[in-house]
Amino acid sequence: MDDKRILDALASPADLKLLDNEELAIVAREIREEIISVTSRTGGHVASSLGAVEIILAAHSVLDCPHDKLVFDVGHQAYAHKLVTGRLNAFGTLRAYGGISGFPKPDESPYDVHPSGHASDSLSVALGLAKARDLRGGTEKVVAVIGDAALSGGMAFEALNHIGQAQTPLVIILNDNEMSISRNVGALMKHLGQMRASTQYRQTRDSLQEKLEKSGAFGTALANFGRNVKESMKQFVIPRSMIFEQLGILCTAPIDGHDIGALRETLSTVLATDGPVLMHVVTKKGAGYEPASRNPERFHGVGPYDIATGETPKKAAGAPTYTEAFGQALVREARRDPGIVAITAAMKDGTGLAPFAAEFPDRFIDAGIAEEHAVGMAAGLATGGKKPVVAIYSTFLQRAIDQMAINCALPDLNVVFAIDRAGIVGEDGPTHHGMFDLVYTRMIPHMRVLAPSNEAELAGALHTALTLGGPFAIRYPRGAAEGVAVPEEPALFEPGRANVVREGDDVAILAFGRMVSRALGAADVLAREGVQARVVDMRWAKPLDAQAIAEAARTKLVVTVEGGVLSGGVGEGVLAELARMGSTTPALTLGIRDAFVAQGKADLLLRDLGLDAEGIAAAIRGRL
């Protein structure tokens, strides 16, 4: 490490105020070098964090954090923030087990305002902070950093509407990089493109702002301009008026997001206004690292890579991931059934739908970061006679529980929810673990829930859901599948019928999804100790196989193992079934305890949770 780096001398964000624009530009370069050096070993959200370096330096050099509040949306872009807020020495542990989180995390630093990790929530949090300040007569500034894709989410739209009505001082930095995880979609993205391209708007707006600056009463005048003069100027300059100003939020002309001086000057100015202002900042994802700027989608979330080439190590030939297995199975189903339509929420590649989109472009829909809308639209497609398959990560599908229940399940529509990243996901930590889907899917009437234990079971689950119809949820984990051959003709499962994969008379382990392989490992451990464990791949989380549960109750101990939270989970469903049977057989439920789970490799986290083979065997041994 170069001892002469300015970055190494920064004890807190306050030190940035001592630097001029030239020195801050040097710090920006050093931060990029540090991000690239560390993420090449740890992986992470590289492109977005590289693109936001100047925004973060400008904000911290103008604000007085943590008194002032810098609120991040999602947090993919927050690595520079971590590096200038006292976490430089710990940055090498980024996303690692026992290390620092890849996202803002309040219990990690007082500079982290809220635990971001899900898109489109920053504006609501920022407005709440501003209202709390107003109510107690505080003086702190509130600045929210939100990406253009996150701005298209419904929650952000709701917040914008309220911010325009509230008219409290608040700055929104719109980090417009023209790209989210996948290419942006929607009318708002076209609107931002018009704003970027409108030279006449920019020149007119800059001229008016210059006059206001010279007036000596810029703060109040600029806000009043945004509220009172906007209509005449917009109608003169842009026939299709600006959505933000129609909502009552003053909007700057597009600013170069990599020009530290322009960012600092503009932010200082808009912080002096007495109402809400949106700073439109145009950045380049992956800025400063050519492989990431050339391929920002791959470098959105990437594993370890070679700095010189940007290439990630080639995986040894082996089992596909569950995501890949799902994508392949869906393409096979779609070739047979022209009624199938695939939907995702800005995660075409992440959910394995890229092959489907390539082969059936007219039957693929990317709804953008708008899970509620995606599920509501699926209901409309199903009502119109199609068979929508909605592929969304477990943690993000939580946002659409109401639409799942009312729009899809209440009318008993043919909608399949492909719930990717179910259970422990690894390095992205508590905001991304899929801990709750077994609860929120099982609680909904009409919903049937499948938890396949390998890629062949996954293909069968998808075929079963599309064949039987009605609302279905299929949950499967992140990472490599089990290496099981997938048959040409997928199985059609009998509803509520489990599959015994190992016989034993002492203990019955009822396992769900990826826990089946761990249960088999536990059975091997117990067998060496003279305990014979039956292992049942329950396959169905709803309806449960009452017969398999009754047979399990004839052993000395009934054990359930699930990859979700115990509270309200499928283990409790088994306990309820045992109670209805009047069973007196002791029972043990294993799963995720009533606590959020930190980041780290999935195997290490499962070990800590007692959900690896040794942990399951130890729990059973303790009860016996």
Q: At what angle do helices 613-623 and 515-527 cross, to 10 degrees?
A: 60
| DSSP-based three-state secondary structure for 341 | strand
Q: Is 514 a catalytic residue?
A: no
Q: Is 335 a catalytic residue?
A: no
In angstroms, rounded to a whole number, what is the distance separating the alpha carbons of residues 458 and 252? 50
Per-residue buried b or exposed e for 24-39, using 16+ beta carbons within 10 Å of the residue's own CB: bbebbebbbbbbbebb
What string of H, E and C letters represents the secondary structure of 532-544? Answer: CEEEEECCEEECC
Residue 462: both structure tokens together: 């998808």
Q: What is the 8-class DSSP label of residue 460?
A: H
From 207, 216, 218, 201, select the one nearest 268 (Cα to Cα): 218
Catalytic-labelled residue, pool 230, 285, 387, 448: 285
Q: Is 285 a catalytic residue?
A: yes
> Which residue do the tokens 């592929």 mark?
391
Residue type, 514: R
Catalytic-labelled residue, pool 82, 95, 399, 475: 399
Neighbouring C-beta atoms of residue 488, cutoff 10 Å? 7
- The dihedral formed by the CA atoms of 540, 546, 547 and 550, expressed in degrees to the nearest 10: 120
- Element at 243 (helix H, strand E): helix 243-246
Residue 55: both structure tokens together: 């925004």
Residues with Cβ < 8 Å from 315, sequence gap 6 or more?
A: none
Residues with Cβ < 8 Å from 212, sequence gap 6 or more?
A: 218, 221, 222, 225
Residue 461: both structure tokens together: 């689950």
Bridge partners for 448 per DSSP: 472
Catalytic-labelled residue, pool 371, 457, 562, 577: 371
Say whether the peptide bond before residue 543 is cis (omega within 30 degrees of 0). Answer: yes
Residues with catalytic roles: 285, 371, 399
